[in-house]
Structure 1
Amino acid sequence: MLRSSWEPELPDEDRLPLYCMWIRGLCDTGDLDHALTLAERAADELPREADVLIALGNVYDLRGQLTDARDAFVKAIEVDATGSLQHYNLGAVLERLGDESAAEQCYRRSIEVDGDGPTLFEANAALGALLRRSGRLEEAADVYEAYLDEDPLSVEMLVEHGICLSDLDEFEEAIDRFQTALSIDRTHGSGWYNLAITQYRMGQPEEAFASMRNAHESDPNSPLTLAVFGAWTLAQPDADLDKALGLLYGAIDRLAAIDSAHLSPSYASLVSEEVFDALWSRQRYGEAREVARMAGQRDWITAHMLETLNEADHGRAPEMTTFTVTARAQSPSALEHWPEDAHGYTTGFSVLARDEDEARKYSLEYLQSLEPFPQVQFQIEAVRPGNPDEMIRLQSTQLRARGVIGVLAGRAYFRG
């Protein structure tokens, strides 16, 4: 069959499905090199077939070649602008490239070209999520409601709509969405998790704890569920310490096991902060610092975690200035958590300090806390006050914790 898919004498209408079938099969088995070879061959032979161009774009996407994927999806739209899938795929790639405005338009176009429906689930879900992240909750709710008018029994969309309603403080309506979803699928982990969070917001801790337990039973490997359930278990009056710590460390272990290519940094930050807070609140400071160190090594550390550590280590002081610091770390060989062939990285921080010398000092201390190994050499390359938009000049009556307050530029590893 594979030989047949390469046979140029076959009519186009026969070659097209064979190409698409084999490209998808190779992608599903992780053989992306051969998938790319086949997809590029197919695109050369059938340059006016949108399905082939979509398949090519998908292979590029899986390989992390986002600009190539974007170009392939653009060509697919030029060939056939009436297909919803190519618009959605282009939007997904543009969003990952950081162009959220263009991504939003692609998602909306994907929904529009389907006319009276049914519209593409993925486009609706992606548009709703993008709108929620940008704080446009009412617009996101409208997207979810419109899709549920088409498919009122879509469990995933019921849950997404419930999350949005909960964020709008429309708790009763959110509860109704979650319960409807769970009446269809009692083992839906996200449904139970978000029901628990909403019940907690409503001041129903016992109901929330029971729902979170159900979330964990439904999806025992979810890092976020493990983290929150562990934190809530640790906060119980007669806490089972071993169970709570097992859940919390299980969250970190699951997080570390996920391939970074498939892990959202914001999700990882949320899980890390939840575990950090749970440990810190029970005065397990050493363990909390280890979680913060792991998070810092992977650019998952949050402003809240940094502020907590800064207050403990440096205290609060008036008349602070924000400085931007760029730094470089170098090692003769890669550390365990670095890419295999890396010899170092550059990064950037935002630092609250009295002057440049103090900003330099806090930056070095932070870097050394993340990589406390003698073979790693650190260099502060630049320290400058924030520009007018970045500057924070605090009044003398205002106290802030000094130190690194945020990561401005994630680690850029270099080789050789």
Structure 2
Amino acid sequence: MRLLLLAPLFLFLGGCVTNPGQTENDPNTGRLGADQNYESLSNTYIQLANEYMKRGDYATALNKAKKAVQRDPNNGNAHLVLGLIYEQLGENGSANAAYQRSLEVDSKNPYALNAYGSYLCKLGEYQKALPYFDRALQNPLYQTPWVALANAGYCARKAGDLSMAQSYLLKALERNPGFAMALYQMAEVRFAQGRYMSARAYLQRYREVAKPTAQMLYLSILTERKLGNDD
């Protein structure tokens, strides 16, 4: 089950406001809580980069993201989308630099914090990753906190801390009861805890909101075997 990185970026871009008179970050919410003076062409390039990423055309997406950075080097989202593209291309050094630059521009951007935490988790840097998810959740304007919570839960489980994983995932499901990633991860946690009836319940909830995957079906098979249902 992959970490969720890209989709929330569209929400942040949709909230940008152009106002040449205000460039300072809000001390509590960063640029989510302040008027923006981003050059409009830079944001256009970001949106184009996102669209090309969705199509799997990373060469064109990279070109557009670089143009976004060139048009406005202080646009944190430009560096964020550049980091996402480099990560997809497996260029970890460039991805790391782009993510860090995005957070230098706006240290409270929850979407950049979630993306960088997910990136570190993907590299196996679990203990370094978790604080970034926590920082993302501190921003009251974060529109999809269940994404960072589910990613934190996944990361905690990979680190071997089932109790912490469960805590994050249950909070994700409090915010969004139908969030498929959190439902699947809770099934994984319950299975690892030996709570097979509960694992089955979470898998059933998953099937109500998302199409089965090979990974999910295999976990279902293992769960039913543990429950003695060989058929």
Please give the TM-score of this superposition, normalised by the length of structure 2: 0.73
1:137 corresponds to: 162
Amino acid at match of 1:87: L
Identity %: 20
Amino acid at match of 2:157: R
Amino acid at match of 1:65: E
1:58 corresponds to: 84
1:155 aligned onto 2:145: no
Deviation sequence 1:186-227 (CA, Å, 0-9, x none): x42354432321121122212xxxxxxxxxxxxxxxxxxxxx
SS of the equivalent of 1:205 reads coil
User: Which among 187, 196, 199 is matched to residue 171 of structure 1?
Assistant: 196
2:205 corresponds to: 180
1:193 corresponds to: 218
1:70 aligned onto 2:96: yes
1:205 and 1:65, CA in 2 relative to 1: closer, same or farther beyond 3 A?
same
1:84 aligned onto 2:110: yes
Q: What do you get for the CA RMSD once the two structures are aligned?
A: 2.5
1:23 corresponds to: 49
Q: 1:45, CA displacement in angstroms?
A: 2.3
Q: Contact (CA 8 Å) 1:66, 1:93: kept in 2 or not?
A: no
Counterpart Cα distance in 1 of 2:222 and 2:140: 35
SS of the equivalent of 2:145 reads coil
Counterpart Cα distance in 1 of 2:81 and 2:144: 23
1:44 aligned onto 2:63: no
Gaps in structure 1 of 5+ consecutive residues? 1-10, 207-416
Larger Rg: 1
Displaced runs of 4 or more, over 6 A: none
Identify, as 1 or 2, the structure richer in helix.
2
1:384 corresponds to: none
1:145 and 1:96, CA in 2 relative to 1: closer, same or farther beyond 3 A?
closer
1:167 and 1:151, CA in 2 relative to 1: closer, same or farther beyond 3 A?
same
User: Which among 91, 94, 98 is matched to residue 120 of structure 2?
Assistant: 94
Please give the TM-score of this superposition, normalised by the length of structure 1: 0.43
Deviation sequence 1:79-106 (CA, Å, 0-9, x none): 1122211112212322344432212222
Written as runs of structure 1 = structure 2, the 5 A alignment for 1:333-412 is none
Q: 1:42, CA displacement in angstroms?
A: 2.0
Gaps in structure 2 of 5+ consecutive residues? 1-36
Identify, as 1 or 2, the structure richer in strand.
1
Q: 1:143, CA displacement in angstroms?
A: 0.9
Written as runs of structure 1 = structure 2, the 5 A alignment for 1:200-219 is 200-206=225-231
Deviation sequence 1:221-247 (CA, Å, 0-9, x none): xxxxxxxxxxxxxxxxxxxxxxxxxxx
Q: 1:15, CA displacement in angstroms?
A: 0.9
Q: 1:31, CA displacement in angstroms?
A: 4.0
Amino acid at match of 1:169: G
Counterpart Cα distance in 2 of 1:130 and 1:137: 10
Counterpart Cα distance in 2 of 1:116 and 1:134: 25
1:147 and 1:30, CA in 2 relative to 1: closer, same or farther beyond 3 A?
closer
In the alignment of these two chains, the number of paired residues is 194
Amino acid at match of 2:178: L
Deviation sequence 1:133-170 (CA, Å, 0-9, x none): 22211111111101111111223321221121111011
Q: Contact (CA 8 Å) 2:146, 2:172: kept in 1 or not?
A: no
* Structure of higher RCO (CA pairs closer than 8 Å, 6+ residues apart): 2
1:32 and 1:77, CA in 2 relative to 1: closer, same or farther beyond 3 A?
same
